[in-house]
Structure 1
Amino acid sequence: MNQDKMDIKTPEYVSLQFQLSGLGSRAAAFLIDQLILWAVNAVIIIILVIIMNNETFLPIFFAENTIPIAFTIIALFIINWGYFFAFEFFSGGRTIGKKILGIRVIQENGHSITLLSSFIRNLMRIIDSLPTAYLLGIIMVFFHSKHKRLGDLVAGTIVVHERKEKRKKKLSPIEKEIENRGLSKNELSIDEWAIKSFSMKDWKLISTYVSRFQQLPESERNPLTKQISGILLTKIGLGVEEMDDGELENILLVLYLNLRDEWEFEI
């Protein structure tokens, strides 16, 4: 089952192929995440026990022993539910366990998981965990053709293996150009929110620009650089009027490196 593959045609009419993550890799990732959460929960409970057994730690408004217990229960719920919700949205569909196992959550249309999808998907964990030890979720993932649990069905998501770039023995011409310019993806600080503002259409635009970059004469490349910069760089809050053609080229090449990690995959 782990070798199942799924073809997706995005709204931009781009065909992508993903390798679906099966029960084994998903269970292993979940176990890693649970070990992390158990460790955090243990620390919180130990702190609670210390506070409850030492009155010097108790502030006046904690005079009733039920208050710190109530705060702890609320904190544990937020941490144990919010961990999956926050990591899957802010880290590109990857919790720590998923990142270690090389899998991620995406939408069925091939795009990154949205805030609403992440919320719904993880809210449904309450049902997927029934009657105990995620039995319902395990059964669903094992028998469903796309290895979906109930949360995936409701949120419209799938879990896939990361699609990594091929390691090439030789750099491509554009990679050599980027290397010769001394550029790296770290030259441009782009947070997860900004990355999510770029669509597949934006990726196709900048990848086409980069593929033709070295073939275009300067007289054609400069106006094209300004045009594409005006479309893309405003999404990350950069003004293009104050920059010369060389600076804009460098920023677009660095932006390409950052977006490539999000959009250019290979099974």
Structure 2
Amino acid sequence: MKSIKLKDLEKLIIEKYSEDEKFKEFLKENRDLEVEVAVENIKLKELEDMEEFTEETVIDYLDEIANLEVISEEKEKEQLKNIEDSEEIVIKYLGEVASIAFNYIRDGIAYMDIVQEGTVGLMKAISNYNVEEDGEFKNYCRFWIIKEMVMFIQNKVEDIKYEFMNYFKTKKENFGKEHHHEHEEEHEHGEVYLKEEDLLPSIEAIEKREKLVSKKINFFNLNNRLSLRHIEILNLYFGFGKDKRHSIYEIEEKLGLEKGQGETLFQEALLILSTVEGKIAL
């Protein structure tokens, strides 16, 4: 079976197959194509730069779906032939959605939002799937899950960029017309608080910031907040794509980590997952 790297698939989705019908045709033409979900050369955001607010429901959600009883492969095959009630199939693949979502914890993106979009992708996979034409369902649904996650982030990035560009356009149009009240700089504990005109003192400064935004606010330039090791530990702990759930001790043994290192990395990963939607850093 041929394979495609995740980054290459993301580019195809954004550039050519953002529409569901076109994506469906792409899958039919490439039914033997398998996606490599693992991310390479991930750019990790430093833990200390994260927002302080957290979402406590994430760990509860992951625990719940990790412990769900799922249907057998035989029953899954029977249901996929004539889907009248897809609930059991959805339940079986919620762990797949949760696991793939670990790869999309980008700056400004909340984990549970990505899970929600991935679940939409899973539902689309079920409704579009044809047993005779589309190959193995597990591989087929991965493509749809990734597609929905990628397009959610891409659309959000474009909205944010549009807002920035409108702001800079207004600043340039009104430059020199704006009047600011004269006041002394505020000091507190030796800190100086810069005003907006200090950051954008000229048309050239505004245009320079425009270029920075255009370059940085891009799907492929957003920082990831989970490292590959974090993702590996989460999948082992919750048993996603594994034959069972692993204890922290088993994870340390399996990955050759020092005692206590597995727990530290696991807690870091949970904090990152539970951090509510933050800002996109330029």
Whether TM exceeds 0.5 here: the answer is: no
What TM-score results when the alignment is normalised by the length of structure 1? 0.27
What TM-score results when the alignment is normalised by the length of structure 2? 0.26
Give the structure, 1 or 2, with the largest relative contact order (CA under 8 Å, sep 6 or more).
Answer: 2
